[in-house]
Amino acid sequence: MTDTTELSDVDISRPQVTLTGGPPPGAATLESREIGAWFGDRLVLEGVSLRMPAKEVTALIGPSGCGKSTFLRILNRMHELVPSASLTGEVLLDGQDIYADGTRPQQVRLRIGMVFQKPNPFPAMSIRDNVLAGLKLAGVKCDDKNALVEQSLERAGLWREVRDRLSSPGGALSGGQQQRLCIARSLAVQPNVLLMDEPCSALDPTSTRRIEQTIAEIGHEVTVVIVTHNMQQAQRVSDHCAFFLAAENEPGRVIEHGPTDTIFNAPSDERTFDYVNGRFG
Ligand SMILES: Nc1ncnc2c1ncn2[C@@H]1O[C@H](COP(=O)(O)OP(=O)(O)OP(=O)(O)O)[C@@H](O)[C@H]1O
């Protein structure tokens, strides 16, 4: 599928549709402080302190197994879904600890959405209902569902391709379209942060480029944190980069983080230089 829609064709300037019971409006800054993570008695992450600024895109890069996905899942309380998992440290969303006593994980996940490696729309459900699915699950009310569907699909860069077939099943779309449908579903609840775990790894180059355009668009409205193995992609889409590395039999740590340009062109650590230049990993 070739998509020729250009960024400038998409109108994302309209005010957001009003939701009742949804997250407070706007992007939020996410900050981790001294995160440590275990599976059983195995420490897989240590001392991860990272600030992911509002309305900017932060890429998490590093070799396989260094804890990037684990860290991402800690950021919206999905790590605790693994029975043997535990953690230490704090995650602050605009200064509030998402692990504070009395904070419900479902409420956190409404504010901090997640898009996975493999697109996971409800295949038999219509495109329209897929977009609205997150609202239903969270009990969020919307005053104009048609406008919300259009706006969410537009923000995800899919509206023009599906506007004439909103009642077709989500499973009938191409892989790249399904991934954009999942992004639209996440955006429909108007989250403050969107986490993306290798969102393009199952997609062809054209679909990958379209998702990268989508990230460029939404990255100015919502905070984005993306895990990627693709160094060109990290350079293209992110404002900031964090390089994770786990030495042999050691937990993963952040070796270096900073503006993407610095990480790729003038890193301060030799291991970062070697990794971004493809010398290992
Ligand atoms: N559910 C789990 N149970 C036990 N160990 C796990 C589990 N998930 C991940 N791990 C371990 O935690 C460590 C970090 O894994 P994680 O998937 O976070 O790394 P990653 O950097 O995202 O890797 P990749 O780039 O390959 O996706 C690895 O050693 C992995 O084997």
- ipTM reported for the complex, 2 dp: 0.98
**DSSP class of 9:** G
**Residue 242: in which H helix or E strand, if any?**
strand 240-246
Inter-residue contact 240 to 53 (CB < 8 Å): yes
66 lines ligand 1 (CB under 6 A): yes
Q: How far apart are CA 198 and CA 221, in angstroms?
A: 20
Mean pLDDT by 10 residues, the chain (281 residues): 41 70 92 98 98 98 97 97 97 97 94 95 97 90 95 93 97 95 95 96 89 91 96 96 96 98 98 94 80
**DSSP class of 168:** S
Give, to the nearest 10 degrees, the angle between helix 175-188 and helix 127-138. 30
How many domains, the chain? 1
Does the residue 85 lie in any domain? yes
CATH of the domain at 246: 3.40.50.300
Tell me, in angstroms, the distance from the centre of ligand 1 to residue 70's CA.
6
Q: How far apart are CA 214 and CA 29, in angstroms?
A: 20
Does the residue 4 lie in any domain? no
Tell me how many degrees the CA angle 245-251-254 measures, rounded to the nearest 5. Answer: 40
Residue nearest to atom 17 of ligand 1 (CA): 69
Q: How far apart are CA 139 and CA 21, in angstroms?
A: 7
Domain that holds residue 217: 26-276
Contacts of 91 (CB under 8 A, 6+ apart): 30, 31, 32, 33, 35, 74, 75, 97, 98, 99
Does the residue 10 lie in any domain? no
Residue nearest to atom 30 of ligand 1 (CA): 65
- Six-digit token string for 36: 């440590």
Inter-residue contact 114 to 74 (CB < 8 Å): no
Does the residue 165 lie in any domain? yes
44 lines ligand 1 (CB under 6 A): yes
Residue nearest to atom 5 of ligand 1 (CA): 39
Does the residue 2 lie in any domain? no
Tell me, in angstroms, the distance from the centre of ligand 1 to residue 54's CA.
27
> How many helices (H) and strands (E) in the chain?
10, 12
Half-sphere exposure of 40 (CA within 13 A, CB side): 1
116 lines ligand 1 (CB under 6 A): no
pLDDT number for residue 14: 57
Q: What distance lies between CA 136 and its chain's CA centroid? A: 21
Does the residue 3 lie in any domain? no
Inter-residue contact 131 to 185 (CB < 8 Å): yes
Does the residue 152 lie in any domain? yes
pLDDT number for residue 15: 66
pTM of the shown model? 0.93
Does the residue 5 lie in any domain? no
Pocket test for ligand 1, best of 38, 41, 44, 60 (most atoms within 8 A of CB): 44
Sign of CA dihedral 147, 148, 154, 158: negative
Determine how β-strand 30-39 pairs with β-strand 85-93.
antiparallel
Q: What distance lies between CA 224 and its chain's CA centroid? A: 5
Ligand 1 atom at shortest distance from the alpha carbon of 252 = 14
68 lines ligand 1 (CB under 6 A): yes
